[in-house]
Chains A and B, each alone.
Chain A
């Protein structure tokens, strides 16, 4: 995919400040902003995208520099490819520590106010969190849209699955989802007879297949209902074999790497294990691919319709007191990531879209003093709670081959048990115990330091130790709770003087009940596989949560949602079903923050689908 030269799309701060004719001003270049920008450009609208990051990774060499940073980083966490930038700081999980009762830790970008400390992350660079996402793209189940009605838990959406279904298909096209319909028809998920995904499903890893061998045909009982088990492939936002039957036989053309010259890279997933955080060949979707299409759209007189202003941190939403409409955005432009020096400009437009992710969008609203009529801005924060379980398989299973997760056990995503406890989906991790123990580095250090191995013995030892590792990551449902929230306080600010997000979170009991069952479930699965359980949760772990006499280390899932939920009235929600603010008619708060519940689906596909809906509503409002 060709990308225009930087000079052609990069806006100049002075020109932007002087310009009054943007139809739409979007904060954030992640998937939400990218989809809306593309839709708007195709309808002939002028769009400005404000990006807090440097934008250096919009070129292939900039992207490859992130890879080099990742390869040379000692800790390979989700944010390791992304250089430190105090002006657009982001959470980095290795810096966390456990809190004492009542303590607040402001040493990291997100101020952790507890009691639960979350290692959740999002990425503040060009492309947003799609630069590090896992690219699993399951849809929400039908029941997920009305958990209050069906299970008496959480909230109902103001939208039904049927109302979102067409937009799911648009999102699957935009992302380029690889999946086979027959693998995704479970727990009541149905597809029209003629529907196929853009690309064929990616194969299960050998590890997935070995796990499946041990559990297929077995089942578990939960509250008198039987759930048969098997390993299913996940739908994924990474390039596979295009399905010739897609789009009524027209097929699908995959999009590889984006760059200013032709590299034709990224045509197909190569199964690189460091797919998360960063695909080395751009076979994994990132929103730069959507933006490349948006930037390519020209207006009537050949002018580019979409401009990008990088190093631009939106700092305040200014409201016209008479109309209640957004009048402008205050934006801080920094010259150098290493220096807090900046100038402040005012950006005007007809419609404003905050697409900065659930935490930053809420943070910006709160920092602007905009709590909304419902008072719910920042509240109902959700993120999947992850419980890790790890074991050694009886035989070598090829761990460390394939992208981070290709298959999982999803049979417990739904059932009547959701009246009492959270549902979960289980990822089989192809990257071994890495998430739980720091493998394979931790294994290497052990073999060298404790057993003095070297040469062929060390290689053999690594294979024996690492390629039998099985990690089951339980992605557990978390329901909206108003006290779980993002707040701001003038005493906690960043390098540019913007208030930082303060996170207060308690893992709900509903979720912990699911976690406790998940632990039991993992033991059952390990026994059936003949695998040796090595799971242990350290009470000093930052995410340690005690529940009914047992302790569990809960991890954040980076599936942030709920901070500006959608609903049916201005008193029960922040935005309407088109993600338009109830209080400010030319303001849209888009992304995971609008989701009233997250079920057991990674949030990106759903929030992408919702942005197609919002894009149409914005265009309607501009006419």
Chain B
């Protein structure tokens, strides 16, 4: 049995870095699926994907707020920050791969797995982390930062470990007459910089707000305690929003999980551009315009992550500059997705999210960094 408990502040910071990495990792697949939808069709799917991707950005920012609250330094330009797709996510005793692909039944099945509420079966309760070898070229999301082959049973468990770690360390600090929440308050990103009907962005300054922040991330994803809504009984969790598309019907208040009874909705599963799954720049014909566009997008995306890093490190107003950049992405992604991939008849291009400088290093090197 492997323990997941967090015993030092440095470990907690590393977990929170992993949390930011995980929250970010859902954005490229969701964003690509969203923009792969052809104009004029799948209005409902477009709205569902849009709201979820916006809330993932909220989760990323909330994770940064927690990290800042304990005096950490959010870093979205660290070489391993952006996952290499397909990336691995825990799915109970095994894992599954999250890739970059067009909106489709297959993509939806993956998205449901990402957001699925997971409970350990009886024989695994209290059994600690799960040992599973990850191939060296795969990003294993939500794994233990210092034990590459130790995995959480689910994303929920990963966050529970963080919550427990925060409680433990704060109690320990409290005993010594101090606190772990020593971060500079001005580094917190507040509601002026994010709003949508879904969720609030609030400053994390103490144990209570830190635990609320973690609850928000978990509940917006998988719902609260087996229900379809978050704890305000207000907003439908991501898992159930995706399920609406699969079931072809909206949920409404009072519905039980798996049984939406709201208005019908239409999904055209063919209504997306046929992009090549998990495309890499290296797969695109050298010298082609499409390859140039793919590289240009990756460069711009890297600059976007640099901007976010500065915003999360004491310059929140820079987030306003990130907004027009998101429009730029939309245009750049559409250009890639709506054009044919040279030498691959019937397939279109795709953003590859291979960020310059972000190359996965062998696990051993990373281990050394963590220990250092």
Contact = CB atoms under 8 A, between A and B. Distances in A.
Interface of A: 1, 5, 60-61, 64, 68, 200, 241-242, 244, 251, 254, 256, 260-265, 267-268, 270
Given A261-B250, A262-B51, A61 B236 contact: no
Nearest to B251: A261
A19 B107 CA distance: 52
B198 A262 contact: yes
Contacts of B196: 256, 264-265, 267
Contacts of B40: 68
Given A241-B192, A242-B192, A5 B198 contact: no
Contact of B43 (A1, A61, A241, A270): A61
Contact of A64 (B43, B55, B197, B235): B43
Interface string B253-287: 00000000011000000000000000000000000
A265 B263 contact: no
A260 B44 CA distance: 12
A270 to B, nearest CB: 8
Contacts of A260: 250, 262-263
Contacts of B2: none
Given A242-B195, A263-B50, 11 more contacts: A60-B47, A61-B44, A241-B193, A244-B192, A261-B251, A262-B198, A264-B54, A265-B47, A265-B50, A267-B196, A270-B323
A328 B252 CA distance: 38
A527 B54 CA distance: 46
A260 B236 CA distance: 13
Which are the 3 A-B pairs with shortest beta-carbon distances?
A264-B197, A264-B198, A264-B196
10 contacts: A200-B192, A244-B190, A256-B196, A261-B236, A262-B197, A262-B198, A264-B54, A264-B198, A267-B195, A268-B195
A267 B197 contact: yes
From DSSP, what is the main secondary structure of chain A's interface residues? loop
Nearest to A59: B263
A270 B252 CA distance: 29
A362 B107 CA distance: 57
B192 A261 contact: no
Given A1-B197, A262-B197, A264-B198, A251 B191 contact: yes
Contacts of A5: 252, 262-263
Contacts of A254: 195
A228 B330 CA distance: 43
Interface in B97-139: none
A200 B317 CA distance: 14
Contacts of A244: 190-192
A268 B50 CA distance: 14
A256 B192 contact: no
Question: Which of B47, B250, B251: most chain A CB closer than 10 A?
Answer: B47
Interface in B20-61: 40, 43-44, 47, 50-51, 54-55
A280 to B, nearest CB: 12
Contacts of B195: 242, 254, 267-268
Contacts of B43: 61, 64
Contacts of B44: 61
Contacts of A268: 195
Question: Which of B196, B198, B241: most chain A CB closer than 10 A?
Answer: B196
Contact of B51 (A1, A251, A264, A270): A264
A261 B198 CA distance: 12
Interface of B: 40, 43-44, 47, 50-51, 54-55, 190-193, 195-198, 235-236, 241, 244, 250-252, 262-263, 323, 327
B235 A262 contact: yes
B191 A261 contact: no
B258 to A, nearest CB: 17
A68 B54 CA distance: 24
A261 B262 contact: yes
Nearest to B200: A253
A201 B207 CA distance: 35
A561 to B, nearest CB: 35
Nearest to A257: B197
Contacts of B252: 5, 261
Nearest to B190: A244
A5 B236 CA distance: 17
A64 B47 CA distance: 11
A5 B197 CA distance: 19
A92 to B, nearest CB: 25
Contacts of B193: 241
Contacts of A256: 196-197
A242 B192 CA distance: 6
A268 B192 CA distance: 11
Contacts of A270: 323, 327
Contacts of A242: 191-192, 195
Contacts of A261: 236, 244, 250-252, 262-263
B27 to A, nearest CB: 16
A566 B131 CA distance: 80
Nearest to B236: A262
A265 B51 contact: yes
A268 B327 CA distance: 14
Contacts of A1: 197
A260 B263 CA distance: 9
Nearest to B44: A61
A611 B110 CA distance: 52
A263 B263 contact: no
A241 B191 CA distance: 9
Nearest to A1: B197
Nearest to B51: A264
B91 to A, nearest CB: 27
A265 B49 CA distance: 12
Contacts of B251: 261
Contacts of A64: 43
Contacts of A61: 43-44
A265 B195 CA distance: 10
A200 B327 CA distance: 22
A264 B195 CA distance: 9
A572 B252 CA distance: 54
Contacts of B262: 5, 260-261
Contact of A263 (B51, B190, B192): B51
Contacts of B235: 262, 264
Contacts of B190: 244
B326 to A, nearest CB: 10
Question: Which of A200, A251, A263: most chain B CB closer than 10 A?
Answer: A263
Nearest to B54: A264
Nearest to A244: B192
Nearest to B324: A271
A200 B262 CA distance: 37
A263 B191 contact: no
A256 B50 CA distance: 14
A200 B323 CA distance: 17
A268 B191 CA distance: 12
Nearest to A203: B320
Contacts of A60: 47
Nearest to B195: A267
Contacts of B263: 5, 260-261
A263 to B, nearest CB: 5
A251 to B, nearest CB: 7
Contacts of A263: 47, 50-51, 197
A197 to B, nearest CB: 14
A66 to B, nearest CB: 13
A260 to B, nearest CB: 6
Contacts of B250: 260-261
A242 B47 CA distance: 23
A59 to B, nearest CB: 9
A520 B262 CA distance: 60
B41 to A, nearest CB: 11
Contacts of A200: 192
A176 to B, nearest CB: 12
A68 B327 CA distance: 20
Nearest to A268: B195
Nearest to A239: B195
A254 B198 CA distance: 12
